[in-house]
Amino acid sequence: MGDRWYSEAVVYCLDIDTYADTDGDGVGDLRGLIGRLDYLARLGVTCLWLHPIHPSPNKDDGYDATDFYNVDPRFGTLGDFAELLHQAQNRGIRVIIDLVVNHTSDEHPWFQSARSSPDSPYRDWYVWSDEAPPDRKQGMVFPGEQDETWSYDRTAKAWYYHRFYRFQPDLNMANPAVREEIKKIVSFWLQLGVSGFRIDAVPFIIELTEPGNPDSPKDFEFITELRQHAQWRRADAVLLAEANVEPAQLVHYFGDRGGSANRLHMLFDFMLNGRLVLALARQDPEPIIEALRDTPELPYGGQWATFLRNHDEIDLSRLTAEQRDQVFEQFGPDEGMRLYGRGIRRRLAPMLGGDRRRIELAYALQFSLRGTPVLRYGEEIGMGEDLSLDGRDAIRTPMQWSFQPNAGFSTAAPEALIRPVISGGEYGYETVNVTAQRHDPGSLLSWFERMIRTLREAPEVGSGRCTDLDRVMPPGVLAHRADGPTGTMLFLHNLGTSDAVVDLGDLYAEAELPGDVLADQEYAPVGKLDALAVAGYGYRWIRLHRGQGLPG
């Protein structure tokens, strides 16, 4: 893997509490995760992203921390976490953790001290107003679940700001002491051995909130400070963040106006994600082509992180109302499948009707586009969702390992599980589990292993240049290429149901013994590239040539 390891990584994200339980309390733990590292290594994972690990009242699935310097005792100890880092490193897997410092829990000692007295040393660590701010009914992140962003605290006798839920008071990023504390948190975990952080809600971290100003200024220089600090502590540390903002603003998160890549290393590509889901709904690649062409050019070292499903709802807020309705009609036809009026709270397999061809097509497409692919736990076996659970919990059910009770996740009584295991029906653990698919060479899990191995033999996909081929294509077909020092890959993906034949004979002059390296079925040899067949919901990854001096 190259110097910029993150550009050629395969990232796998999970919640410790729903992955594997070893002590029988119904909650996943660090020892359980350690015991599954060989599974992840075989899958081809090179980077593990852990959702919040800190002690928490768990009113928001761990995103409400009470101690940034420890792990939730339900998961184990700091010693267990250090052992996880050691064992992961032995298998060539890096670990990054969530950095959730936009806010704390209202049970955090800092906030308890801050609300106790105006003279508290922590009073100015949060954002206060003596009067009810006029904009307190604006800017809610969770419409329908949240009706204000300022709440009155009777003990403090003042209003405090919370971009998210009222039990998550925002930290005051205008306070230098808060910034220094965040740097100390970063230093602590880097020293322990993590390879970086996924920074939650980064636009709000740099927001210098002013009561009554719904458009408070943002201080991008704090990202610059954080990047510099992290890399002084660990040179190859990576900062991955989410910023679902307007395209014109994205480049500011990567670097300053001088063009330096001195801020975030990676951003989740929300614009591509929404367009990718729209393309799947329409069976038309045009939204993907538009996203690839409209994406701002990144400074050297900047990288996108691509995803189909993550731990949240599929956010369609960057689509038009008409486009959202088209996606809802196809993938979220029932109101109970939707969330916040903008998203879908489902996993991909049931969204695509359990159609194995479409599932393969969707992930082959995601993993072949520019950027670093991120895979949500359970997607590799086609897990479903539990829509009877509230909100985002529908896609946060325990991992389905085997035919054993509780899907092999835990020996606890079913009522003691952190969330119910999906049982019965097309996606129940009795049908969908790792053990069943491990013994089936034609399973989705086996396909994912093969696909990821193929991707790791084509580093130009992650670290090179991605270009859609501007040709007249049959309906539903997307053709694109990845070019880099390691060579060139050609990709065909057919989002439609009809078989197609594509003429790319003009590329043959630059080819060197071209051939399929991954495909949905056995096709005729690629020949001179002038009659490339691709089935409905089919795909072909074709190696055009390898770079000079590289093994064949």
Q: Which residues are catalytic?
A: 200, 242
- Tell me how far apart the alpha carbons of residues 487 and 511 are, in angstroms, rounded to a whole number: 10
Query: Which tokens belong to 357?
Result: 């061809």
Q: Which residues pair with 339 in a beta bridge?
A: 343
Query: For residue 370, what are the CA distances in angstroms to 27, 59, 358, 494?
Result: 36, 36, 20, 18
Residue pair 382/432 in contact by the 8 Å Cβ criterion? yes
H/E element holding 168?
none
Residues with Cβ within 8 Å of residue 407, at least 6 apart in sequence: 398, 399, 400, 401, 421, 422, 423, 429, 433
Residues with Cβ within 8 Å of residue 543, at least 6 apart in sequence: 458, 487, 488, 489, 490, 514, 515, 517
- Tell me how far apart the alpha carbons of residues 327 and 330 are, in angstroms, rounded to a whole number: 5
Residue pair 422/433 in contact by the 8 Å Cβ criterion? no
Closest CA to 427 of 363, 359, 497, 362: 359
- Tell me how far apart the alpha carbons of residues 56 and 65 are, in angstroms, rounded to a whole number: 5
- Tell me how far apart the alpha carbons of residues 446 and 168 are, in angstroms, rounded to a whole number: 42
Residues with Cβ within 8 Å of residue 427, at least 6 apart in sequence: 349, 350, 354, 382, 383, 384, 385
Closest CA to 327 of 344, 340, 348, 345: 344
What is the CA 260 to chain-centroid distance, rounded? 25
- Tell me how far apart the alpha carbons of residues 197 and 48 are, in angstroms, rounded to a whole number: 11
Residue pair 193/202 in contact by the 8 Å Cβ criterion? no
Residue pair 537/498 in contact by the 8 Å Cβ criterion? no
What are phi and psi for residue 460, nearest 5 degrees? -65, -20
- Sign of the dihedral through C-alpha 390, 395, 396, 397: positive
Query: Which tokens belong to 521?
Result: 């079925």
Burial letters 125-148, b for 16+ CB under 10 A, else e: bbbbbeeebebbeebbeeeeebeb
Residue pair 503/530 in contact by the 8 Å Cβ criterion? yes
H/E element holding 130?
none
